[in-house]
Amino acid sequence: MTLTTQFYTLIAMIGMGSYFGATLDTYQLFLKRSKRKRWIVFIHDILFWIVQALQVFYVLLLVNQGELRFYSFLALICGFAAYQALFKKGYLIILNAVIAICIATAAFIKKVISLFVYKPVVGVIKMLIMISRTMLKGLFTFVYFIFRIIMVVIKVVCSPFVWCLSRIYKLFPISVTNKVEKLYNYIEGFIKKARNSIYRFFNTKNKEYERRGEWEA
């Protein structure tokens, strides 16, 4: 190993010692040991030291083909000590300032997105839902009204036929009229059940939309 290579190795290891000090402070700041479980901290520590060792070996590989000498450890310690004595305070001030700026920027972006994107979209969706419910309520009311009109018209139109059939019905024998009455009662009961079911359906839907409208208001 030439003297120039040794000098480059010494400078590189001093730089890596300072870099190691900066990364260690950054790691400690983001890790927050008191708020994490011990086994998580243990795994993070192992991964951190493995990454640092690989970085040191990679720098040595670039500088002197990966030869590790005793003075390399001394240079690392000197670089770390230089960082602790000269650069640590200023680095932590800059790091905390950068973190504070990033947090403030993220909060500002979140507020902007909430104000100009999220709230308008939510407002439009709520308005569309309200319009849809109002239209459905009006549609159910209209269909229910038309249904009642149709029932009244059918009743009025069929009343003469019913009167005529009742007169003719009285001319039949009693045995026939009894069977006809049973059939008529069965059909009438079925029609009443169907009509009541339809009435209950429309009334239930109208009440549901009224309750939803009161709840939204």
> Are 143 and 202 in contact, with CB atoms under 8 Å apart?
yes
**Mean of the pLDDT values across residues 86-99?**
90
The larger pLDDT score, comparing residue 112 to residue 206, is at: 112
Does 177 score more than 70 pLDDT? Answer: no
| pLDDT score, position 215 | 45
Amino acid identity for residue 173 in this structure: P
pTM: 0.55
| pLDDT score, position 14 | 87
Which of 26-40, 96-110, 150-164 is the most confident on average?
A: 96-110
Does 101 score more than 90 pLDDT? Answer: yes
Does 102 score more than 90 pLDDT? Answer: yes
Distance CA 118, CA 112 (A): 9
| pLDDT score, position 106 | 92
| Confidence label for 176 from pLDDT (cuts 50, 70 and 90) | low
- Average pLDDT of the residues of the chain: 81
Span 125-157, pLDDT tens digits: 988 888 888 888 888 888 888 888 888 888 888
Domain ranges of the chain: 3-101, 140-216
Residue with tokens 């069977």: 179
| pLDDT score, position 217 | 47
> Are 43 and 108 in contact, with CB atoms under 8 Å apart?
no
Does 105 score more than 90 pLDDT? Answer: yes
Does 30 score more than 50 pLDDT? Answer: yes
Distance CA 21, CA 28 (A): 11
**Mean of the pLDDT values across residues 88-108?**
92
Distance CA 27, CA 132 (A): 54
DSSP reduced 3-state for 67? coil
